[in-house]
């Protein structure tokens, strides 16, 4: 679901992963027509990093 959001509304992705300041910056970037593609790429990358961080936290939590 978040992947779909990151493709359609990249700025909203940052709010769902707890990074509101990055969400505002992404929204400002997305407002320009040229900035839409970099905003989308940034949102998808940030989402993948978030998922990786969650997996690491889960793995560390299970080992302790």
- Residue 61's pLDDT is 83
Mean pLDDT of all residues in the chain? Answer: 88
Check pLDDT > 60 for residue 29.
Answer: yes
CA separation for the pair 43, 55 (Å, rounded) = 18
- Residue 23's pLDDT is 92
* pLDDT digits 0-9 by tens, 38-62: 999 999 999 999 999 999 999 888 7
What single string gives the DSSP state of each residue in 7-55? HH-HHHHHHHTT-HHHHHHHHHHHHSTTTHHHHHHHHHHHHHHHHHHHH
Whether 11 contacts 23, CB under 8 Å: yes
* pLDDT digits 0-9 by tens, 5-28: 888 888 899 999 999 999 999 999
């Amino acid at each position: 679901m978040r992947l779909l959001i990151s493709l359609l509304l990249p700025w909203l992705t940052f709010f769902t992963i707890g990074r509101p300041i990055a969400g505002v910056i992404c929204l400002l970037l997305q407002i320009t027509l040229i900035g839409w593609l970099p905003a989308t790429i940034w949102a998808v990358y940030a989402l993948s990093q978030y998922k990786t961080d969650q997996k690491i936290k889960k793995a560390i939590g299970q080992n302790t």
